[in-house]
Structure 1
Amino acid sequence: MADDGSKQSTNVWPLPKFYFQVKWDSAVLSFEEVSGLDVEAQPIEYRHGDSPVFSPIKMPGLKKYGNVTMKKGVFKSDNKFWDWFNQIKMNTVKRIPVTISLLDEEGKPTMVWTLTNAWPTKITGTDLKAEGNEAAVETIEVAHEGLTIANG
């Protein structure tokens, strides 16, 4: 008899990445794509003068977070990106938490990325093409001050 998969372990297959949710503060927004969920530890190179090894050692330094880019369709009377961007006034901007959740087939979060103190740095409007056959998509790039990851 063929295996119906009911006895298969839940950790055999990686999670698909197409079912996700993005929360801005308390509002849920629909996005086509989210990218840039990365962090790196900048290396510090050091060599003391009487080291018998003629090369520096590398130590972990400050953490550096990349900007997160999100793309969504353009809808009539939807100016959330532009409203948030227009709040930037001479070194001040409304900073909000942004939560990105990878969902399982039941819609429950399995991995959650939380951006701390996020604010918009760049908005790219859609390109326009008379012979195009695609939906209008706009892009927002947000900077943040920290990224935490939690597994559901």
Structure 2
Amino acid sequence: DDPRLRVARAIEIINKTSGDGLFSRNDLMLLETLTRAAGLAVHNIRLAERIVERERERHELELAAEIQRDLLPPGAAREFPVHGINIPARAVSGDFYDIILLADGRIWFSVGDVSGKGMNAALLMAKTSSPIMMMKISL
């Protein structure tokens, strides 16, 4: 539904109260110009709202990706020759892994995958992986 048509309909219901009550050619041209300007303004506002929303989503994904990167171990664990990498389908996912060398020489792997993608999945995985991170710090 074109917003210019809605504005045009609103303007069309205005009654002229002077003279014979009919719109002159100049009146109609003025109303048409106002209608187009108002419709264009509405259209531009909606475009601006979409741009702001997309920028907010982009920023949210950047933050979630940073959170996720901080949760994952470095690419190369120095104590042993095991490496991992996380390549999300989108900018962010709910994937998690960690590799921990235990005091007795055993290696503990933890892997997690939250359903869904994006900020919600990354935050849920951050919460879920917190006990593992705390255990790793205490070892």
Q: TM-score, normalised by structure 1?
A: 0.20
* Larger CA Rg, structure 1 vs 2: 2
Structure with the higher fraction of residues in strand conformation: 1
- The structure showing larger relative contact order (alpha-carbon pairs under 8 Å, at least 6 residues apart) is 1
Structure with the higher fraction of residues in helix conformation: 2
